[in-house]
Amino acid sequence: MESPHAVLLVVLIATFAISNLVQAEDQEGFISLDCGLAPNEVSPYIEPFTGLRFSSDSSFIQSGKIGRVDKSLEATTLKSYMTLRYFPDGKRNCYNLIVKQGTTYLMRATALYGNYDGLNNSPKFDLYIGANLWTTLDTGISLTGVAKEIIYITRSNSLDVCLVKTDTSTPFLSLLELRPLDNDTYLTSSGSLKKFSRYYLSNSESIIAYPDDVKDRIWESRFESEWKQISTTLKPNNSIGGYFVPQNVLMTAAIPANDSAPFSFTEELDSPTDEIYVYLHFSEVQSLQANESREFDILWSGEVVYEGFSPNYLNITTIKTNTPLTCEDGKCNLGLRRTKNSTLPPFLNAIEFYTVVKFPQLETNGTDVVAIKDIKATYELNRNTWQGDPCVPQKFRWDGLDCNSLDTLTLPRITSLNLSSTGLKGNIAAGIQNLTHLEKLDLSNNNLTGGIPEFLANMKSLTFINLSNNNLNGSIPQALLKREKEGLKLSVDEKTRCFPGSCVTTTKKKFPVMIVALVSSAVVVIVVVLVLIFVFKKKKPSNLEALPPSSNTPRENVTSTSISDTSIETKRKRFSYSEVLEMTKNLQRPLGEGGFGVVYHGDIMGSSQQVAVKLLSQSSTQGYKEFKAEVELLLRVHHINLVSLVGYCDERDHLALIYEYMSNKDLKHHLSGKHGGSVLKWNTRLQIAVDAALGLEYLHIGCRPSMVHRDVKSTNILLDEQFTAKIADFGLSRSFQLGDESQVSTVVAGTPGYLDPEYYRTGRLAEMSDVYSFGIVLLEIITNQRVIDPAREKSHITDWTAFMLNRGDITRIMDPNLHGDYNSRSVWRALELAMMCANPSSEKRPNMSQVVIELKECLRSENKTEGMDSHSSYEQSMSFDTKAVPSAR
């Protein structure tokens, strides 16, 4: 069980004593909050015993009251623990911290009750990170204080740490601390790491922390009667691998008291179902003679997981698990057994145990969070309930808000804002327009002044606005009145709706005259429209030619109509077939061939613009229907990560699409190595994945109606001269409305291997079908394996990857052409994301917005460590389903 962090005993204070020279120069990125620091106290200040720089927490939380430990305890209590902040009001109270997105932090929350309220009741409460439960903090475990630690990767630049009341006792906190860690350490395949125990093996009773540990981890000593201690007076090199285990931790080690016996370490978990990660730290403390050797196997639950390990003299080696472990009945047993080649017994310097905690609930969309906080600041709303995440968990949702957070797989968005009768003053807040998914807005019964802003008309999701009973002036914007006619329900004061001159009262005698005039006008308009329709039916458009059907061209459901008669309208140039022949040099420069037909390289005459011309083949399985679908789609989509349409040809039997030219061909071409150039670097692959994901996100969210591509695959991801990725080939794409119409039945279409199995089974098409296909592409990017390979033991790439993941070694999954040149942290995150996307169940897949966010974090992590050696041979991985020695990371 995680040991409480003792903070009252004099012996503990003594262990933290340091030189005044140390102070706080090595605390870059540290956040150290002294909760409840009195207003008359100096902030920040240097804690005299630890050298840590602490600041008041008052700027990071809007609620709570200040308490102080009982006077009888002050003489034996560190300065930073003397005060606390307690929260008698509200169910949830949250600290909001500014952090660096994508950074790995060690977070520690410490609570020393100290009978500050004279009740001797030892409070118990929950701690949340954002919208997810972190842990329960029970101060009754220890009278000398309790600390909880977690290693967590921040999802944004803002972090909420919340105290949640679970019974009648009052939550409180003494310290809240964050310490940035190297992003290539403490990696998991999923979840965050909650500290269970951290020991250095020594018969000392000292606690080792900052400044000995530059990351401010707290190391407790542990020593068993069946062990014997060995040590050195020399300082080992602890900088290898990025863990920076304190040198004085590595200067002692434990060996079995009986030299011929194995070394055994046992830990019992709080819950037998917990998954854990284990970190073993070794540094040889004895200078071995020529006739001496130390070599041993590492065993877990009696099974060898690492063979023939020899620690390095005065150099750290960290051996860790790269997949989570379980312990039978919650009892974990680590064994070290000397090999036949060894003359000396095995040893261990230090060990860390972490349990896995999953944070499944997505936090509210960042744009919405910024917007609602801006509104909160504009109107100076100090509601106690307006803390933490606005939407989730639903039981703590902010008063006056409704959100679409129905499950843990959908990014919550704010859909309703009700600030009626809340005393609002001033203008209607501009921040409201940034709530782009807002459907209902109620600002009635306030003291709002100024005009009605036009931006309300531009909020396309709004269906209801109530601005009544305010002091607004001016007229209603015409654009908003137009929206009202289209169905928007708008409630305003009569004086606002009837601005001067707009509501003239007429007599009953004049009323029939007005009606007659209106009816007469309407009749005239109708007659004119009918005449125009008749004329245009008799006359063909001058710039487009009517096309009779051809028996040689497979056109579906087409009579003698041209493209213009089938709703395709364009400002892009319509080319004749002779112009197509001219730009392609009589079809002499083929680039490739697809289901539609051959693609040719071309140049538009009179300009330097290069194009790719896709010409419909007479034998193509696709035809006019797909041609029309692709043209119609490309006419209304505009995004840097979608291939743009330059023009088209629709001349009798000749159909062609003219695109911008992508000089670096497609992603599959580069992964295959057929291009003969250099191998795509890992960060380039991640950037390509980000580009493609952004293109799909635009189709799913930026288009109205929404669009599903239906044929996402590596050959349809094209690369320009800068290797910017763009999605192509929209012939199979389908549009549908969001909401209740987010799924439509279609004839199943797509490419085997990439095809969503749920869509194939049900025929129900949705955006998640593209997400599945993208997951397959991402697996291709990571592994460079064929999507379907009958020669493999597991033929489909998802089955093969899952099979290899169970073996736990990333090097067996990654494209061998990369030769290990990648940051394993970004690889694990990308791999986890790919498998989530390719989940057989659409409900368990992320949406493309979530995919974009995660891929950008992967890329940021990779770029941050580019040029650095993140693959030190001194950090090894243990594989727990094979006796083969895993390779170094």
Catalytic residue status for 650: no
Burial classification of residue 324, based on how many CB atoms lie within 10 Å of its CB (0-12 exposed, 13-18 middle, 19 or more buried): buried
User: Do the Cβ atoms of 208 and 248 come closer than 8 Å?
Assistant: yes
Peptide bond into 44 cis (omega under 30): yes
User: Do the Cβ atoms of 92 and 387 come closer than 8 Å?
Assistant: yes
Which has the closest alpha carbon to 832: 842, 845, 843?
845
- Tell the residue number behind the tokens 């000995």, with chain if given: 212
Burial classification of residue 452, based on how many CB atoms lie within 10 Å of its CB (0-12 exposed, 13-18 middle, 19 or more buried): buried
Pairing of strands 350-357, 192-201: antiparallel
User: Do the Cβ atoms of 148 and 101 come closer than 8 Å?
Assistant: no
- Tell the residue number behind the tokens 């008698």, with chain if given: 88
AA letter at 745: S
Gap between the Cα atoms of 310 and 351, Å rounded: 17
Residues with Cβ within 8 Å of 815's Cβ and at least 6 positions away in sequence, in order, are 671, 679, 782, 783, 784
- Tell the residue number behind the tokens 């006619």, with chain if given: 485
Active-site residue, from 184, 213, 711, 770:
711
Peptide bond into 705 cis (omega under 30): yes
> Torsion angle, CA of 801/804/809/812, rounded to 10 degrees?
-80
Gap between the Cα atoms of 481 and 500, Å rounded: 16
Q: How large is the angle between the packed helices 682-697 and 848-865, nearest 10 degrees? A: 160
What Å distances lie between residue 292 and 40, 337, 342, CA to CA? 63, 16, 8
Give the long-range contacts of residues 811-814, CB within 8 A, separation 24 or more.
811/887, 811/889, 813/782, 813/783, 814/782, 814/783
- E strand or H helix at 797: helix 797-805
AA letter at 774: F
Which has the closest alpha carbon to 682: 867, 431, 482?
867
Residue 739 structure tokens:
């909401």
Count of Cβ atoms closer than 10 Å to residue 53 Cβ: 16
Gap between the Cα atoms of 116 and 82, Å rounded: 9
Which has the closest alpha carbon to 614: 715, 696, 728, 691?
728
Does 573 count as an annotated binding residue? no
Which has the closest alpha carbon to 710: 762, 761, 667, 748?
748
Gap between the Cα atoms of 111 and 67, Å rounded: 12
End-to-end CA distance of the chain: 30
What Å distances lie between residue 90 and 161, 163, 249, 383, CA to CA? 15, 10, 43, 10
Count of Cβ atoms closer than 10 Å to residue 361 Cβ: 20
CA torsion sign for 53, 56, 61, 64 is positive
Gap between the Cα atoms of 84 and 144, Å rounded: 14
AA letter at 552: N
400: left (phi over 0), alpha (psi -120 to 50) or beta: left
Phi, psi values for residue 230, rounded to 5°: -125, 155
Peptide bond into 211 cis (omega under 30): yes
Binding-site residue ranges: 614
Binding-site residue ranges for ATP: 614
Q: Catalogue the active-site residues.
A: 711
